[in-house]
Structure 1
């Protein structure tokens, strides 16, 4: 039999028979699946010590227990569906939980119904049957200063060769696997993806919502294709956990959406992210933040350097001023961090003098903080107990001159709570940039647990700590940073206000990062650096500002050294950005040229609204150029800068032709009116 569960936007079709429950399709609500049972892929895959897979593969499907699961019951309400299955051999009970938001958030709960214990080494958050592998995969790579690099590839070219013939029927036992290791949740890969169908305008999008290790894979069995999403695993992350009737386990949550193409899927993910956010009234402010770091003080703040910057930032229109790294250090600060006390040499009259100037100029003061680490040369490394640190076999894990706190430890959390509470109480701090430049490795085996389970518990304790900080300080805004965007996930971003999208210092290399970030993070959370440099060309100066317009402008640069014309351009950029901020939470991203390539000459990214849209265009060649976009039939207005300069726009039929006669790289933001004839032709 089949069962359809509908949300406001989706129809999920489940199949029930004498085997395990299957999720046969996820479609837009007005295009439900037919329930034809095109796949035999179980909804839940689970393996345990003594209960593996058949046949043996590297994949996490065709698990022995997964095949033995049988439907028991399901419970549904307006916004929740719970499907209960049972394995008679082990006594394992699994519950697949689906929460209706803009898309669907889903996870799996596991427990035993009888005596004994079971050591799990894999449990999926969700598995979706695809019927075939006739899809392209949109997936993103990530790196420090080279974040959000997306590519599109047919599944057949990503490790799923078609080897079946008249005499040899089995499909490949390989898979397209994408995995994150350690506590940089986006250190190498992004936990977001989209499958685009070849034979119809259908797309399936997802994101894994975890601030630690995760795994997804796309593969093919005899019955068809599948998409599998999970948190940590034994094979990839040294994770196992023991469950019993008294000790249950829940996987990390994932979100699923469906649409009719690339931009439709990302628009649905955008709506889902907005539904996931735990917003407070202070989040509604959407302030313009000035930070002294990028291409400016670069970790060397002093009173003498900061005071003129504060005045210039206020004059430019900033609302918050964040003092970045180095404010606590007398000298080399990398391996001595942890106490978070202001430097006496950097601030001879005390940090309060600088904080007071920020407040006197009408801005909210902020500080950079890397709370989860203790430098190996810090006195706190000796004062805190060993159990306060991530450790393996009784030895503290040390990376790049730092020990890493284990936030399951009361001592570690007390240290962090006292630090935050002290800085808020003493200086009135209203903004912390929370950085994270070192990662944990596989995790802690303290207490005899697997490293992967130790890390998972630490990750969840980290989220609890953040929730506690915000509950105690409801006016405090928190930025998420991890060597740029190496921890850009929606376990954290469902809680935090702002996400640093990169540490990239070249504005031309920042362009594809700023253009692609909205595939992973909400535009209203995407903190793009705008760090104009005085005495550069007007076009390069403009590119630096353009990067921040369609997102959350993270202003920097030596504003106090700029000419009157340069400062006027900065103020104009801030003013234009505020116009976008006034409606940004209603806008959805689109990419008329597709997601950008790292070396593309032209890069295009837009935010679409009900009556008008904004489009940023970058031309990164040092020659004149021309671009045809399928965005005709609209009015076109200059947005930033106010005068087009060497750029022209011509709308003819369904095509918008853009030309630039500039002989250096340049960028513009334009405003597009509603379609006035024909049909919109976005990619």
Structure 2
């Protein structure tokens, strides 16, 4: 490390470096006294920029203190040039390095602490900004950056990658030249940087509805990649623009302009932004590998992350929210025979209405007496345990139906509101988890279900979206209320797991509409989609590891008795490099069909220890929604073992997959799925894998072992 220091010691100086063996960050003080990040990358590869052309370390806007110029981007702010460098401190905590930089504005008394961390051995930088009002007057903040990087290559050299994320069509990455948005205006002729910017935002209580809070830049010549994520459970924004013949990146949480977010800092009060994270790599796959390892390093520890048990869920293409004792018992028995280790009863278990109209009456979370006979739901849960599985239940904790008795029983301030009016969305109210009554209601619910009933798995869903938020007493703006609730929800989840440390929590919001880094750091599994068409799931399954580590990414596999063998293999094969979310009418299958399911589950159990450590790669590039061939790979940390799933939905029956990390060596090839009657072939040719799938739909899971050794 270039700047070695004892923890807590100050080092005011004009230039300094910080980092570790995998990452170096360079700083310099500009002529105006502000600190600039002038270099970022692996040691020996850092290109140091001119401090005068780099961005200040923090940009923020506040009422009465706007920007130095007008435009759609939050750079060039008045505070950006007034927050002067005062001190920095370095140290080490656990397996990572940390750096805190102190900036101060003498005119208002505002102090900003830029808190940087990086896990050792990973080229990943995490940044958040803590503001403290040390002045005599209140300050209303409208935006504050989490991470600012300037001095990147010019827009002409860069492609920008984004990921559309819609219901039933998650994780759809696409790329275009940055110049397609940030036009070349001939900066020298105008003596001014362009005002244009490529801006992406996420809004509302579904933070990943529309796009993932991620992006990447790739240098077209070298392949060098800068990959980022914003760890916000509510609103977020990132933008790219041109500055001083280079490119800048700005990562923000919610803002006043886009999210109706602002906060008032009274003297002595503090606020901390959501984190922004940047990974660097020699290419997209390398940067994503580093980000995957970072996600594992910062999440809450849990046994599920290494055990990777197989979950059967009764919803998708099966009971679809209509569970009864009569329907569940044979399904439980069949799931156990197939090798499932958890069995989750999904939506409907609380529904006593004859017409299924439970949508606007949920909230009490008591079991239906109409649906469950001979011992009620506890008898069903006992049957799951008798068959050697852990019982689970679906819950949508944050919503209360307008017809629920809970809606009248809880205090008005326990719900989202605007102008004194309780909000209603699709016949439901939204709980505000900052309110003690809302929290107590959910604590009582979970402690009954988990503590009294012995449920070991909760699928927590969320099927409404509130935009822009709530104005509870003390909230200055609805976006601030939403962010406050979102953080309180994550705190509540952490407290639930503190009380019930073996409980496994799946995060779901109509599939993947809450697939953000903040929530994934707390929960154990993430639903990747509600997609019910097995032919449309492969691009979601193939791209899901961009958003979530494979051991957390729940991928539906719903084989049906009406499927032929190829389609059964196809729908099962798509889940084998993630977390199997098994479903389907297994109880109606023939013994031969059930054996196909059992073989796939057995294969998964042999490879899951590797998946808990592997990082993803994409031999054919990130998948397109209509691609006929798709491929997802997982490679072990030592590169000795790689797994590749290949799907064919059309096109020519043969394909070659380049695998540079294994090229020019001896490689053993094994087809793991389908195991009983492979539908294709895979051969190593010295530079890559030649795959043949003569029929569509077709799938292969292949294990490649470097050196030709049996793993």
1:342 has 2:367 as partner: yes
What CA distance in whole angstroms lies between the structure 2 residues aligned with 1:69 and 1:411? Answer: 41
Q: Could you say which residue in structure 1 is the equivalent of 2:8?
A: none
Q: Could you say which residue in structure 2 is the equivalent of 1:261?
A: 283
Local SS of the residue matching 2:575: coil
The worse-fitting range, judged by mean Cα deviation, of 531-540 and 165-174 is: 165-174
The worse-fitting range, judged by mean Cα deviation, of 604-613 and 297-306 is: 604-613
C-alpha distance after superposition, 1:129-164 (max 9, x if no partner):
13422321111110111000001111111x201111
The worse-fitting range, judged by mean Cα deviation, of 103-112 and 400-409 is: 103-112
Aligned pair partner of 2:428 in 379, 384, 402: 402
Equivalent residues in 2 for 1:3-152 (5 A)? 3-19=16-32, 20-34=34-48, 36-37=50-51, 39-78=53-92, 79-101=97-119, 102=122, 103-131=124-152, 132-133=154-155, 134-152=157-175
What CA distance in whole angstroms lies between the structure 2 residues aligned with 1:207 and 1:420? Answer: 31
What CA distance in whole angstroms lies between the structure 2 residues aligned with 1:510 and 1:479? Answer: 19
CA contact (8 A) 2:289 2:616 kept: yes
The worse-fitting range, judged by mean Cα deviation, of 234-243 and 190-199 is: 190-199
Q: Could you say which residue in structure 1 is the equivalent of 2:698?
A: 666
CA contact (8 A) 2:679 2:698 kept: no
1:572 has 2:595 as partner: no
What CA distance in whole angstroms lies between the structure 2 residues aligned with 1:641 and 1:200? Answer: 39
C-alpha distance after superposition, 1:584-637 (max 9, x if no partner):
12211000111100000110001011311100000011x652212113553321
Local SS of the residue matching 1:11: strand
- Following superposition, the deviation at residue 516 of structure 1 comes to 0.1
Equivalent residues in 2 for 1:511-530 (5 A)? 511-530=538-557
1:644 to 1:351, Cα distance in 2 relative to 1, 3 A: closer
Q: Could you say which residue in structure 1 is the equivalent of 2:10?
A: none
What CA distance in whole angstroms lies between the structure 1 residues aligned with 2:72 and 2:50? Answer: 29
Q: Could you say which residue in structure 1 is the equivalent of 2:11?
A: none
Equivalent residues in 2 for 1:440-519 (5 A)? 440-447=466-473, 448-519=475-546
Aligned pair partner of 1:355 in 372, 381, 384: 381
C-alpha distance after superposition, 1:236-255 (max 9, x if no partner):
10011111332111001122
What CA distance in whole angstroms lies between the structure 2 residues aligned with 1:644 and 1:35? Answer: 58
Structure 1, unpaired ranges of 5+: 678-683
1:119 to 1:655, Cα distance in 2 relative to 1, 3 A: same
Q: Could you say which residue in structure 1 is the equivalent of 2:628?
A: 601
Local SS of the residue matching 1:264: helix
Q: Could you say which residue in structure 1 is the equivalent of 2:3?
A: none
Local SS of the residue matching 1:407: coil
Q: Could you say which residue in structure 1 is the equivalent of 2:653?
A: 625
- Following superposition, the deviation at residue 413 of structure 1 comes to 0.3
CA contact (8 A) 2:206 2:513 kept: yes
- Following superposition, the deviation at residue 676 of structure 1 comes to 7.0
1:324 to 1:421, Cα distance in 2 relative to 1, 3 A: same
Local SS of the residue matching 1:415: helix
What CA distance in whole angstroms lies between the structure 1 residues aligned with 2:228 and 2:189? Answer: 37
Q: Could you say which residue in structure 2 is the equivalent of 1:224?
A: 246
- Following superposition, the deviation at residue 673 of structure 1 comes to 1.7
C-alpha distance after superposition, 1:419-445 (max 9, x if no partner):
000111221010000000012211111
1:239 has 2:267 as partner: no
What CA distance in whole angstroms lies between the structure 2 residues aligned with 1:38 and 1:71? Answer: 15
- Following superposition, the deviation at residue 55 of structure 1 comes to 1.3
CA contact (8 A) 1:194 1:265 kept: no
Local SS of the residue matching 2:518: coil
Local SS of the residue matching 2:300: coil
Structure 2, unpaired ranges of 5+: 1-13
Q: Could you say which residue in structure 2 is the equivalent of 1:424?
A: 450
1:49 to 1:166, Cα distance in 2 relative to 1, 3 A: closer
1:251 to 1:420, Cα distance in 2 relative to 1, 3 A: same
CA contact (8 A) 1:15 1:35 kept: no
CA contact (8 A) 1:210 1:231 kept: yes
Q: Could you say which residue in structure 1 is the equivalent of 2:675?
A: 642
Q: Could you say which residue in structure 2 is the equivalent of 1:681?
A: none
1:365 to 1:166, Cα distance in 2 relative to 1, 3 A: closer
The worse-fitting range, judged by mean Cα deviation, of 171-180 and 472-481 is: 171-180
What CA distance in whole angstroms lies between the structure 2 residues aligned with 1:667 and 1:48? Answer: 55
What CA distance in whole angstroms lies between the structure 2 residues aligned with 1:461 and 1:165? Answer: 46
CA contact (8 A) 2:306 2:609 kept: no
What CA distance in whole angstroms lies between the structure 2 residues aligned with 1:644 and 1:227? Answer: 50
1:532 to 1:438, Cα distance in 2 relative to 1, 3 A: same
What CA distance in whole angstroms lies between the structure 2 residues aligned with 1:471 and 1:59? Answer: 41
Local SS of the residue matching 2:529: coil
CA contact (8 A) 2:679 2:699 kept: no
Local SS of the residue matching 1:507: coil
Q: Could you say which residue in structure 1 is the equivalent of 2:6?
A: none
What CA distance in whole angstroms lies between the structure 2 residues aligned with 1:167 and 1:129? Answer: 22
- Following superposition, the deviation at residue 648 of structure 1 comes to 2.3
What CA distance in whole angstroms lies between the structure 1 residues aligned with 2:463 and 2:98? Answer: 38
- Following superposition, the deviation at residue 481 of structure 1 comes to 0.4
CA contact (8 A) 2:384 2:391 kept: yes
What CA distance in whole angstroms lies between the structure 2 residues aligned with 1:620 and 1:282? Answer: 33
- Following superposition, the deviation at residue 581 of structure 1 comes to 1.0
Aligned pair partner of 1:616 in 616, 632, 645: 645
CA contact (8 A) 1:282 1:476 kept: no
Count the aligned residue pairs: 674
Q: Could you say which residue in structure 2 is the equivalent of 1:680?
A: none
What CA distance in whole angstroms lies between the structure 2 residues aligned with 1:568 and 1:82? Answer: 57
- Following superposition, the deviation at residue 397 of structure 1 comes to 1.4
- Normalising by structure 2, report the TM-score: 0.92
1:296 to 1:453, Cα distance in 2 relative to 1, 3 A: same
1:166 to 1:233, Cα distance in 2 relative to 1, 3 A: closer
1:532 to 1:30, Cα distance in 2 relative to 1, 3 A: farther
Local SS of the residue matching 1:543: helix
CA contact (8 A) 2:90 2:98 kept: yes
- Following superposition, the deviation at residue 456 of structure 1 comes to 1.2
What CA distance in whole angstroms lies between the structure 1 residues aligned with 2:39 and 2:619? Answer: 28
- Following superposition, the deviation at residue 638 of structure 1 comes to 0.7
What CA distance in whole angstroms lies between the structure 2 residues aligned with 1:566 and 1:261? Answer: 42
- Following superposition, the deviation at residue 674 of structure 1 comes to 1.4
